[in-house]
Amino acid sequence: MERNDAPIAYRAEQAVATITLNAPERRNALSTHLIAELRTALARAVADRDVRVVVLDHAGPVFCAGADLKESVAASSVAALPAAHLAELLADIAEAPVPVVAVVRGAARGGGLGLIAAADFTIASLEVEMAFSEVRLGVVPAVIGPVVARRITPARMRELFLAGGGIVVEDADVFTGEDAAEWGLVSAAVYEEHLDSVVEDLVARLELGGPSAQAGIKALTAAPDLRGELRKAAAVTAEYFFSEEGREGTRSFLEKRPPSWVG
């Protein structure tokens, strides 16, 4: 495991590379630094011929809170905007020649759901809370759209993107891991106490497959020019972050007040 103050921790043993989002004090928010470190860790795993499976895990009670909003508000250029860098990370995850398994023990928002959708398998706790929160910030979740579209229907994606959370549920601000599994956004949702054993069983099954065959299957089932689509989508997201509405939405969130469009 890498040093404790790094935003990403890396461990490789018994053919499995475990990459851990390791900034719990920031709710594992996707800063430009965390994104860069995660891309480096994934490249390290892919370059290691002994690694057969990558497991994406997290420290702390939150899987990922989405884009780092403090950094987003401070950004004065696209290059400084975390969402603009997210496209390359999502493409790296989706295009990695080895299977990538995401483990979701805690809440996920916005860009964190992009990580979930980009992985080949996601095992989530039944009761974790998830939301596409961008719309309430005056932002379009375009950058994660191409990978989310691989997992759920266009109609469901439109509903969730527009409403932010659930549709008809007890708490309409969020949906759960169980809901996400029903819709196909995650591969399976299980009781938290069974999470590790389910992931271990899945990893063991994946290790039985031929590595070249698995890389070929990922290439065969890949969306055409996914990286190009993600880059185009990132540009759309950036436009909304820099818009008057996006600026107001993100500032209001940080200031813990309703945005101007809420009466």
The pLDDT tens digits of the residues spanning 60-92 come to 999 999 999 999 999 999 999 999 999 999 999
Cα gap 63→75, rounded to integer Å: 24
What is the H or E stretch that residue 208 is in?
none
pLDDT per position as a tens digit, 5-53? 789 999 999 999 999 999 999 999 999 999 999 999 999 999 999 999 9
Question: At residue 167, does pLDDT exceed 90?
Answer: no
For the chain, give the mean pLDDT: 95
Is residue 163 within 8 Å of 172, Cβ to Cβ? yes
User: Distance of CA 236 to CAs 61, 83, 229, Å?
Assistant: 31, 10, 11
Taking the domain 8-193, which CATH number applies? 3.90.226.10
**Residue 2 and residue 227: Cα distance in Å, rounded?**
29
Relative orientation angle of helices 244-254 and 226-241, to the nearest 10 degrees: 80
Predicted confidence band of residue 170 (pLDDT cuts 50, 70, 90): low
Q: What is the pTM of this model?
A: 0.95
The proportion of the chain whose per-residue pLDDT surpasses 70, expressed as a percent, equals 96
CA 77 to chain centre: 23
Separation of CA 135 from chain center: 17
Contacts of 34 (CB under 8 A, 6+ apart): 7, 8, 21, 23, 28, 68
Query: Where in 133-213 does DSSP place strands (E)?
Result: 175-176, 188-190
Q: What value, to the nearest 5°, has the Cα angle with vertex 120 and ends 64 and 113?
A: 25
- CA 124 to CA 254: how far, in whole Å? 28
| Confidence at residue 1, expressed as pLDDT on a 0 to 100 scale | 45
pLDDT of 263: 77
Percent of the chain, pLDDT > 90? 94
Amino acid code (one letter) for 102: A
Say which residues have a Cβ less than 8 Å from residue 228's Cβ, sequence separation at least 6: none
pLDDT digit string, tens, across residues 194-239 = 999 999 999 999 999 999 999 999 999 999 999 999 999 999 999 9
Domain ranges of the chain: 8-193
